[in-house]
Structure 1
Amino acid sequence: MKSKVTSVEKKHRNKIYQYVAAFTANLGIICSEMHYGWPSPSLPILINGNYTFQITSEEGSWIAVIPLIGAIFGAFVTGLVVDHLGRKKMVIFSSFPFVVSWLMIGLAKSSTLLYVGRFIAGATDGMSFTAVPMYLGEISEPRIRGLLASVCPVSIVLGLLLINVLGSYLPIDTTAYIATIIPILLFLLFIWMPESPYFHLIKGNKEAAKKSLVKFRGTTNVDEELDRMALGVKEQNENTGKFFDLFTVKCNRKALFIAFGLRTVQQLSGTTAIIIYCKTIFNEARHFMAPNIGPIIFFMVQLIMSAISSSIVDLTGRRPLLIISITGTSFTLLLNGIFLYIKNCTEIDTTDFNFVPIIALIGFVVIFSVGLQTIPLLVMGEIFPTNVKAFALCTADIYFSVIATLVSKFFHWTNEAFGMHVPFFVFTFCCVVGLFFILHCVPETKGKTLEDIQRLLKGEELQDYRRPSKIV
Structure 2
Amino acid sequence: MTSETKGSPVLQYVAAVTGTLAIVTDGMHYGWSSPSVPQLKNNSTCTLCIDESQGSTLAVMPLIGAVAGSLTAATIVDYLGRKRTILATAMPFFLAWIMVAFANSILVLYIARFVAGVADGFTFTVVPMYIGEIADAKVRGLLGSSCSVMWIAGFLIINVIGSYLSIKTTALASSVVPAALFVTFLWMPESPYYLLMRDKPEAARRALERLKSTTKVDDDLNRIKGAIQAEQKTKNGRFLDLFTVKSNRKAVFIIGGLRGFQQLAGTTAIAFYTHEIFGAAGDHISAHYAVMIYYSVQLVLTIVSSGIVDRAGRRPLLLISMAGSALALFVEGTYFYILNETSIDTSSFSIVAVIGLIAFVTIFSLGMQSIPICMLGELFPINVKAFALCLADVYFSVMATAASKYLQITKVEYGLHVSFYGFFVCSILGLIFIYFFVPETKGKTLEDIQKKLKGEVEECNGNVVDEEKVSLKA
How many residue pairs match? The answer is: 457
Which residue in the other structure is 2:18 paired with? 24
2:222 aligned with 1:265: no
Which residue in the other structure is 2:8 paired with? 14
| In 2, Cα distance between equivalents of 1:213 and 1:232 | 16
2:101 aligned with 1:106: yes
Check the 8 A contact 1:73/1:123 in 2, yes or no: yes
Which residue in the other structure is 1:200 paired with? 195
Check the 8 A contact 1:456/1:462 in 2, yes or no: no
Which residue in the other structure is 1:247 paired with? 243
Counterpart residue type for residue 65 of structure 1: V
1:464 deviates by 5.5
* 1:296 paired residue among 274, 292, 296: 292
Counterpart residue type for residue 177 of structure 1: L
| In 2, Cα distance between equivalents of 1:358 and 1:236 | 50
2:46 aligned with 1:46: no
1:428 deviates by 0.3
Which residue in the other structure is 2:313 paired with? 317
Which residue in the other structure is 1:6 paired with? none
* 2:440 paired residue among 444, 449, 452: 444
Structure 1, residues 20-53: CA drift from partner, whole Å, max 9, x if none?
A: 0000000000000100000100111101224642
* 2:456 paired residue among 450, 460, 463: 460
Of the structure 1 ranges 203-212 and 163-172, higher mean CA displacement relative to structure 2 is found in: 203-212
Which residue in the other structure is 2:468 paired with? none
1:348 deviates by 1.0
Instruction: Flag the 1:74–1:176 CA change in 2: closer, same or farther, 3 A.
Output: same
| In 1, Cα distance between equivalents of 2:258 and 2:252 | 10
| In 2, Cα distance between equivalents of 1:95 and 1:384 | 26
1:232 deviates by 0.6
| In 2, Cα distance between equivalents of 1:31 and 1:237 | 35
| In 2, Cα distance between equivalents of 1:283 and 1:132 | 35
Note the 1:395-406 alignment, pairs <5 A: 395-406=391-402
Which residue in the other structure is 2:27 paired with? 33
Of the structure 1 ranges 300-309 and 285-294, higher mean CA displacement relative to structure 2 is found in: 285-294
* 2:68 paired residue among 73, 76, 89: 73
Which residue in the other structure is 2:271 paired with? 275
* 2:127 paired residue among 112, 132, 135: 132
Of the structure 1 ranges 80-89 and 48-57, higher mean CA displacement relative to structure 2 is found in: 48-57
| In 2, Cα distance between equivalents of 1:339 and 1:200 | 55
Q: Provide runs of 4+ in structure 1 moved above 2 Å.
A: 462-467
Which residue in the other structure is 1:175 paired with? 170
2:179 aligned with 1:184: yes
Counterpart residue type for residue 26 of structure 1: T
| In 1, Cα distance between equivalents of 2:323 and 2:268 | 18
1:13 deviates by 7.8
| In 2, Cα distance between equivalents of 1:152 and 1:50 | 38
Structure 1, residues 152-207: CA drift from partner, whole Å, max 9, x if none?
A: 10001100000000100000000000000000000000000000000011111111
1:286 deviates by 3.9
Identity of aligned residues (%): 49
SS at match of 1:461: strand
Structure 1, residues 412-461: CA drift from partner, whole Å, max 9, x if none?
A: 01111100110100110011111110001000000000000000000111
Structure 1, residues 71-112: CA drift from partner, whole Å, max 9, x if none?
A: 000000000110011000000010011110000000011111
SS at match of 1:14: coil
Counterpart residue type for residue 341 of structure 2: C
Note the 1:319-338 alignment, pairs <5 A: 319-338=315-334
Check the 8 A contact 2:327/2:424 in 1, yes or no: yes
Structure 1, residues 241-264: CA drift from partner, whole Å, max 9, x if none?
A: 001000000000110000111001
| In 2, Cα distance between equivalents of 1:287 and 1:98 | 36
Q: Give the unaligned 5+ runs of structure 2.
A: 464-474
Counterpart residue type for residue 40 of structure 1: S
TM (normalized to structure 1)? Answer: 0.95
Counterpart residue type for residue 258 of structure 2: L
Which residue in the other structure is 2:412 paired with? 416
| In 1, Cα distance between equivalents of 2:405 and 2:459 | 48
Instruction: Flag the 1:259–1:465 CA change in 2: closer, same or farther, 3 A.
Output: farther
Check the 8 A contact 2:7/2:214 in 1, yes or no: no
TM (normalized to structure 2)? Answer: 0.95
SS at match of 2:9: helix
2:148 aligned with 1:149: no
